[in-house]
């Protein structure tokens, strides 16, 4: 950011391949967020594929949240490869944090159950 008297001129990052990582991060969230009438896209897909939602009936590992990694790992890799594009930095930090937390939770749940 350049300060010119009271006017600040900020350089804007270009929209490019790294910006796709921001969309993937958003899709990972939308995959599990309840929409209208408590509808979740992940639950619909798991029901269509006849897969369980939880590892132990109604408790345990919540598989749709783990499936969000399908979106967050590619977001992490794309943001790392194209860090100078719009949204790549925030996407990199969020997707790495979320991926780590989910992997950590799955490992801890597996160890202590």
Listed residue (39, 32, 38, 98) closest to 62, CA to CA: 32
Count Cβ atoms below 10 Å from residue 42 Cβ, excluding itself: 19
Does 27 have pLDDT greater than 60?
yes
Q: Which residue has the tokens 């979106």?
A: 71
Q: What are phi and psi of 56, to 5 degrees?
A: -125, 70
Please, which residues have CB within 8 angstroms of residue 29's CB and are 6 or more apart in sequence?
68
Q: Could you write out the DSSP letters of every residue in 19-72?
A: GHHHHHHHHHHHTTS--GGG--HHHHHHHHTT--SEEEBTEEEEHHHHHTHHHH
Q: What number of residues does the chain have?
A: 113
**For the segment 32-76, what is each residue's pLDDT rounded down to a tens digit?**
898 888 899 999 999 999 999 988 888 888 889 889 999 999 999
pTM above 0.75, yes or no: yes
């Amino acid at each position: 950011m350049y300060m010119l008297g009271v006017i600040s001129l900020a350089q804007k990052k270009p929209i490019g391949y790294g910006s796709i990582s921001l969309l993937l991060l958003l899709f990972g969230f939308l995959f599990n967020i309840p929409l209208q009438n408590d509808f979740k896209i992940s639950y619909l897909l798991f029901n269509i594929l006849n897969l369980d939602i939880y590892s132990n009936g109604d408790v345990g590992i919540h598989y749709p949240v783990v499936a969000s990694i399908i979106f967050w790992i590619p977001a992490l890799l794309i943001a790392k490869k194209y860090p100078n594009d719009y949204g790549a930095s925030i996407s990199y930090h969020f997707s790495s944090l979320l991926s780590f937390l989910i992997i950590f939770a799955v490992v801890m749940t597996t160890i202590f159950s």
